[in-house]
C-alpha cells in the first residue's frame, strides 16, 4: 500500500428499525499510525453531528483493524434520551450525513449521504403481505396493483440512488416522499 490510509464505510440497509448499521471497510496502511478515529453522524433535521466512539487497534500480526461493525441506536445518536438501558426507539428514515476520519482528521476522511429507507421498506413488505400474492393467474386489477408496487419499489431505489450516488439529496427526498404517498394509497381490496 502507498503512504496513506484509504478510509471506507459500508452502510447497509437494515430491516431493523432500531439500529443504523455501519461497517468499517477501510484499508489502513500498516506502516503508518492510526490515531484519533472519529465517526460523526448528523441525523435528519439536526445541524450538529453526534460523535460515536470508535477504536482502531493493531492486531498481533501488526495489521490495523478498524472498528468493525457498529449497530448505532437512537440513544447513541442522541435521538432517544431516556430509558436507553431498557428500550430502543426506532430511527427515522431520512438523510444521514456520516463522516469518518483519522488523524489528521481534516485531511484523512470520507463522508457519505445515506438515505435510510427502513421504515418505507417495512411498509412496502407489509403491503405485499396484505395483498396476499398467490401463485395464480392474476386478474387485470391485481396486475395493475402489482405494477404500481413495482413502480413504488423503483421510486424507493431511485431515491437512494439520487442521494447516495448522484449527490442530489433534494431530488432523492422528493422521490422518497412521492413513493411514500403512493404506498399509502395501495389497498388490498383486489385479489389474485
Q: What number is the average pLDDT over the span 33-46?
A: 94
Any idea which residue has 503508518 for its cell?
32
**pLDDT for residue 9 is more than 70:** yes
Rounded to an integer, the average pLDDT of 82-108 is 95
- Half-sphere exposure (CA, 13 Å, Cβ side) for 112? 23
Better pLDDT: 2 or 47: 47
The residues spanned by each domain of the chain are 9-116, 118-185
Mean residue pLDDT of the chain comes to 92
Mean pLDDT of 141-167: 95
Q: Residue 1 has what pLDDT? A: 44
> What is the rounded average pLDDT of the residues 15-31?
94
Its pTM stands at 0.91
| Interval 43-80: pLDDT, tens | 999 999 999 999 998 888 888 899 999 999 999 999 99
Gap between the Cα atoms of 85 and 165, Å rounded: 36
E-strand spans in the chain? 9-10, 20-24, 38-42, 50-52, 57-58, 64-65, 69-72, 94-102, 108-116
Q: Which three cell numbers stand for residue 5?
A: 490510509
Segment among 10-14, 17-21, 61-65 with least mean pLDDT: 61-65
Q: What is the pLDDT of residues 105-140, one digit of tens each?
A: 999 999 999 999 999 999 999 999 888 777 878 788
Q: Kindly state the average pLDDT of the residues 12-34.
A: 93
The set of residues, in sequence order, having a beta carbon less than 8 Å from that of 2 and lying 6+ positions away, is 29
Q: How far apart are CA 192 and CA 190, in angstroms?
A: 7
What would the mean pLDDT of 70-91 be, rounded to a whole number?
95
CATH class of 9-116: mainly beta
Amino acid at each position: 500500500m502507498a503512504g496513506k490510509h484509504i478510509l471506507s464505510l459500508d452502510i447497509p440497509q437494515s430491516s431493523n428499525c432500531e439500529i443504523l448499521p455501519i461497517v468499517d471497510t477501510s484499508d489502513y496502511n500498516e506502516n503508518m499510525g492510526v490515531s484519533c478515529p472519529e465517526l460523526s453522524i448528523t441525523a435528519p433535521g439536526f445541524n450538529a453531528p453526534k460523535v460515536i466512539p470508535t477504536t482502531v487497534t493493531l492486531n498481533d500480526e501488526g495489521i490495523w483493524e478498524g472498528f468493525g461493525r457498529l449497530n448505532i441506536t437512537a440513544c447513541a445518536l442522541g435521538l432517544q434520551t431516556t430509558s436507553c438501558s431498557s428500550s430502543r426507539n426506532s430511527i427515522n428514515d431520512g438523510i444521514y450525513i456520516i463522516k469518518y476520519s483519522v488523524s489528521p482528521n481534516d485531511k484523512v476522511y470520507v463522508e457519505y449521504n445515506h438515505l435510510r429507507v427502513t421504515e418505507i421498506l417495512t411498509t412496502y413488505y407489509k403491503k405485499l403481505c396484505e395483498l396476499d400474492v398467490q401463485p395464480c393467474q392474476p386478474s387485470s386489477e391485481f396486475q395493475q396493483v402489482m405494477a404500481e408496487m413495482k413502480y413504488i419499489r423503483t421510486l424507493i431505489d431511485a431515491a437512494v440512488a439520487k442521494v447516495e450516488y448522484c449527490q442530489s439529496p433534494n431530488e432523492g427526498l422528493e422521490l422518497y416522499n412521492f413513493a411514500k404517498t403512493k404506498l399509502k394509497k395501495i389497498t388490498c381490496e383486489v385479489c389474485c
